[in-house]
């Protein structure tokens, strides 16, 4: 499946956590990742509102989902920064 079709299908059918993780991984691939210990920082500043636009959700629901993903150890967030724990993502079961 080509990249755009795969992205469209994932955004249409996935749950919010999966949509966010997929969007973050795609941004990391497109803009690069900077190694920061266990996490890799996406080399692009992001707000919760911008992530919400990418996944087609409200800013409020994205904020809650990001907090849950951070609590589970999949990501780490800061002011306009998101870091991805690649090892943890590889362990995450596909939905």
CB 31 within 8 A of CB 82: no
Residue with tokens 């497109």: 30
Domains recognised in the chain with CATH numbers: 3-91 (1.10.10.10)
- d(CA 57, CA 44) in angstroms, rounded, equals 20
Q: Residues 4-39: pLDDT tens digits?
A: 555 555 555 569 999 999 999 999 999 999 998 889
Which residues lie closer than 8 Å to 47 by C-beta, 6 or more apart? Answer: 80
Q: What pLDDT, in 10s, does the model give residues 70-87?
A: 999 999 999 999 999 978
Taking all residues of the chain, what is their mean pLDDT, rounded to a whole number? 85
Supply the pTM of this predicted model: 0.80
């Amino acid at each position: 499946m080509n990249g755009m079709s795969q992205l469209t299908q994932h955004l249409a059918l996935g749950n919010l956590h999966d949509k966010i993780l997929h969007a973050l991984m795609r941004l990391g691939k497109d803009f690069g990742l900077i190694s920061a210990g266990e996490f890799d920082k996406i080399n692009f500043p992001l707000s919760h509102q911008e992530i919400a636009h990418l996944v087609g959700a409200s800013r409020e629901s994205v904020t809650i989902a990001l907090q849950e993903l951070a609590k589970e150890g999949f990501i780490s967030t800061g002011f306009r920064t998101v870091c991805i724990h690649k090892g943890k993502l590889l362990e995450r079961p596909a939905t």
